Amino acid sequence: MKRLFVAGCLMMACLGVMAQRTTQNLNEHWTFRFGYEFDKKAGIEVNLPHTWNAQDGAAGNLYYHRGIGNYTKKVMIPSEWKERRVFIRFEGANNIAHLFVNGRIVGEHRGGYTAFTYDLSDRLNYGEENELWVRVNNSEQLDIIPLVGDFNIWGGIYRDVYFVVTDKACISPLDYSSDGVYIRQTNVSEKKADVAVKTLLSNSGDTPRHLTLHTTVKDGDKVIAEDSKKVELPAHEAQMELTQQVTIRRPHLWNGTEDPFMYQTIVRVMENGMAIDEISQPLGLRYYRFDANEGFFLNGKHLKLQGVCRHQDRAGIGNALHREHHEEDARLMVEMGVNSLRGSHYPHAHYFYDLMDRYGIVTWAEIPFVGPGGYADKGFVDTEALKANVRQQLHELIRQNGNHPSICVWGLFNELKSQGDNPVEFIRELNDIAHAEDATRPTTAASNQYPDDMNLVTDEIAFNRYDGWYGDTPNTLAEFLDAFHREHPDCKVGISEYGAGASVFQQQDSLTQSVPTSRWHPENWQTWYHIANWKIIRERPFVWGSYIWNMFDFGAANRTEGDRNGINDKGLVTQDRKTCKDAYYFYQANWSRNPMVYIEGRRNIERRHAHTQVMVFSNMEQVSLMVNGKEISTQKPDDYRICTFQVDLQQGRNILSVKASNADGTLREDSVEWMLMN
């Protein structure tokens, strides 16, 4: 009897496990061939994430392949899944994807940067091998954004793919491919926070289900708040919406990089005391506001948003990033002292937003509604087909990512122009959609047009400025900001892009302004540019945030400048992530609290002038410089964390070393070797 009892318990436990949702990663062992290859034997085996442009898209080839790529995979479907529900989820395929199962079309997704999900339950042959076939198309289309862009439109299934297997009654993953749980926080303060949790339930079965929806907010293992609601879920119910309210007293707030604390919200669907489905979501409670005169405030305290823009590609792999690549990018940002991100110019991977939550980086997430900037063509065509796609991608952005506490603004466009088909009325429509989707977050946009009515639609506005790179000097940035603030005193203004190109292989002793379209992008001009621009931005408290273009060098096939084709080299870090440029350390000295010291110009090894200037970046109390073992002087860094020394080099080899110290005994050192040439 005891054995029967134990066996029965084990069976019940197995049934309980089977009732919960499970996932099966589908990244491995796909066969890939281009659309023009009809021979079945032409395919090669690839693993996802994958892009077919990893090589030609990174070589400065204007004609990198933009067309159709075919992905096929055979997968065994267990017999027991027949009594379950089987979904397939694609995290991203650029930019049109048609899915076929066993040769039959399942659906089409139009948009390269958001997830899409299909219910395959009635399409599969259970207990047999099934074929998945995905036709992905990254060709230019006039009815899918982005229409243009100064970045590569990489083709392929470049994010993860997996099965999600659930009970026939489940939390629906089919609402714009969201998780089916929407968390909105209101009335947040140090005293309490009210949280609304909306859950979408679905039942594909032939009988109604009597369920309990149980929502719990937990701090580790401790239950902070909970709510239960009984529901009868009808048979063949595509989607039933239920909202639960919970209040958290004296909440521990998500406080940016200082304290990115998060609760967990767990939503369980219960039947007869057993969980048949479950979703866990982060809950970072915070309140914030933008002020036209004083900038951004998080949890009642002023916070200067010191940000970077990021493109998601890197050398050798294009945009087919793995988790470790996202983690390295986030680590480099954190080490520099970044506290805000602009995810340009499209929704980034869900895992990267998870990292932004975890590190406390205030995030601007946007749709790929991108204009031509300084180039030809258009970013907006006034057709219903295009507008429908923009609306779809905005819904997807917000519904898929709205639970991330790091995301504080929704971006609606970048560098559109009002000449010809004027997008202003449509931007107003998008602004209304964003507010209807999420009343808790403001909208913003990145403009390079002034004056223009499109600048006055979103809740905040920011400008892409390159004063001192594309002509002019940084002084024109100061003039622009002061004039805009004077003419629009109620507008909340930021800087969405500013930057300059630099090659770590191109060095010069003198400081001369670069020609952007030339082959000569010396590193020291980028450094000087950033020092001058940051001074202007920092001195203006009404600028709510600024975003360096760009954190990393990235692929742009149209570029023929700097040390090689196909690269936009405005990054503070090289595309392979192996070298941080000098400007990176200027910001690290100004933005990071971790003690550091760095000698600027370290790669300018061959020197032509015996009497030269040595610039050192440090956030420590005092810095001492030695040249060839002789102490030159000790200085306190200025307000911008810079020490400037005048030295005389000897002919041939010179060793320069610095020691930076704090009163508590903390010590940091750096050194370089320079050669004084004849």
Q: Which residues are catalytic?
A: 415
Chain centroid to CA 590: 23
Whole-angstrom Cα distance, residue 409 to residue 356? 14
Beta bridge partners of 133: 72, 100
The CA dihedral of 571, 573, 579, 585, to the nearest 10 degrees, is 110
What DSSP character marks residue 425?
H
Asked if residue 611 lies in contact with residue 648, where contact means CB atoms within 8 angstroms, the answer is: yes
Q: Give the three-class secondary structure for 349.
A: coil
Sign of the alpha-carbon dihedral angle for 398, 402, 404, 407: positive
Whole-angstrom Cα distance, residue 325 to residue 59? 21
Give first-to-last CA distance, the chain, whole Å: 96
For residue 220, give the nearest of 266, 158, 171, 155 by alpha carbon.
266
> Which segments within 35-103 are labelled E, that is strand?
44-46, 68-76, 85-90, 96-101
> Which segments within 533-576 are labelled E, that is strand?
543-548, 554-561, 564-568
- Per residue, the 3-state secondary structure of 196-245, as one string, reads EEEEEEEECCCCCEEEEEEEEEEECCEEEEEEEEEEEECCCEEEEEEEEE
Amino acid at 425: E
Other CB atoms within 10 Å distance of the CB of residue 200? 20
For residue 121, give the nearest of 155, 81, 61, 154 by alpha carbon.
81
∠ CA(648), CA(650), CA(656), 5° rounding? 70
All residues at 6 or more sequence positions from 290 whose CB lies less than 8 Å from its CB, including other chains:
296, 297, 442, 459, 460, 492, 544
Whole-angstrom Cα distance, residue 228 to residue 129? 41
Whole-angstrom Cα distance, residue 280 to residue 283? 10
For residue 330, give the nearest of 348, 317, 345, 316 by alpha carbon.
348
What DSSP character marks residue 644?
E
Contacts within 8 Å (CB) and 24+ apart, 630-636: none
Number of H helices, E strands in the chain: 8, 41
Whole-angstrom Cα distance, residue 647 to residue 507? 19
Asked if residue 622 lies in contact with residue 634, where contact means CB atoms within 8 angstroms, the answer is: yes
Asked if residue 459 lies in contact with residue 492, where contact means CB atoms within 8 angstroms, the answer is: yes
CA distances from 371 to 127, 136, 374, 508, 563 (A): 50, 24, 9, 35, 27
∠ CA(596), CA(599), CA(604), 5° rounding? 150
Asked if residue 385 lies in contact with residue 392, where contact means CB atoms within 8 angstroms, the answer is: no
